[in-house]
């Protein structure tokens, strides 16, 4: 298993995983829209997409978006999407993707990586905490859906 940056070569398989990821979050399946979204990210360079490649296919992906940390006066990254195909779960794929996300942060001089997950996603929370991520207990985060 190896981690690679997503290229157009990976796009069909990563699109399938991205569509499954969206369905996990109760969105309707829309492979065409999912592909357009990912293709736009690659063309515009406004996200960093990585995937875990196994001998028998792409096992998972992560998508990070760059932002800025005005308090630290530095770059930061939002680990917005992380998904592992069911056939590859419990094989260390998510851990590999998290470690590559951390390496990206270090390479880019970022001050912070951030992510969010469902309150009931206890297994993911355990993994994040095992990898050194700390749950924020000082701030509330709010969303304004448009």
Q: What is the pLDDT of residue 141?
A: 87
pTM of the model: 0.93
Instruction: Centre a 10 Å sphere on the Cβ of residue 47 and count the other Cβ atoms it contains.
Output: 19
Q: What is the pLDDT of residue 56?
A: 87
Q: What is the pLDDT of residue 13?
A: 92
Instruction: Centre a 10 Å sphere on the Cβ of residue 36 and count the other Cβ atoms it contains.
Output: 12
Q: What is the pLDDT of residue 11?
A: 93
Instruction: Centre a 10 Å sphere on the Cβ of residue 130 and count the other Cβ atoms it contains.
Output: 10
Q: Number of folded domains in the chain?
A: 1
Q: What is the pLDDT of residue 137?
A: 92
Nearest to 12 by CA among 35, 33, 28, 29: 35
Residue 144 within any structural domain of the chain: no
Residue 135 within any structural domain of the chain: no
Q: By the 8 A CB rule, do 60 and 97 touch?
A: yes
Residue 146 within any structural domain of the chain: no
CA distance 46 to 43: 8
Q: By the 8 A CB rule, do 63 and 83 touch?
A: no
pLDDT along the chain (146 residues), means of 10: 93 95 95 97 95 94 96 96 95 97 96 94 95 93 89
Residue 143 within any structural domain of the chain: no
Domain that holds residue 40: 2-130
Q: What is the pLDDT of residue 48?
A: 96
Q: By the 8 A CB rule, do 16 and 31 touch?
A: yes
Residue 33 within any structural domain of the chain: yes
């Amino acid at each position: 298993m190896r981690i690679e940056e997503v290229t157009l070569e990976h796009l069909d398989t990563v699109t399938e995983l991205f569509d499954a990821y969206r369905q996990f979050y109760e969105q309707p399946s829309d492979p065409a829209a999912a592909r357009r979204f990912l293709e736009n990210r690659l063309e515009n360079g406004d996200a960093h997409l990585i995937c875990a490649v196994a001998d028998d296919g792409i096992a998972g992906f992560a998508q990070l978006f760059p932002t800025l940390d005005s308090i630290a006066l530095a770059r930061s990254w939002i680990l917005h999407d992380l998904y592992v195909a069911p056939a590859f779960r419990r094989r260390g794929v998510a851990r590999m993707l998290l470690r590559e996300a951390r390496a990206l942060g270090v390479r880019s001089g970022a001050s912070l990586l951030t992510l969010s997950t469902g309150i009931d996603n206890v297994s993911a929370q355990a993994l994040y905490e095992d990898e050194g991520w700390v749950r924020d207990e000082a701030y509330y985060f709010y969303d304004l859906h448009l």
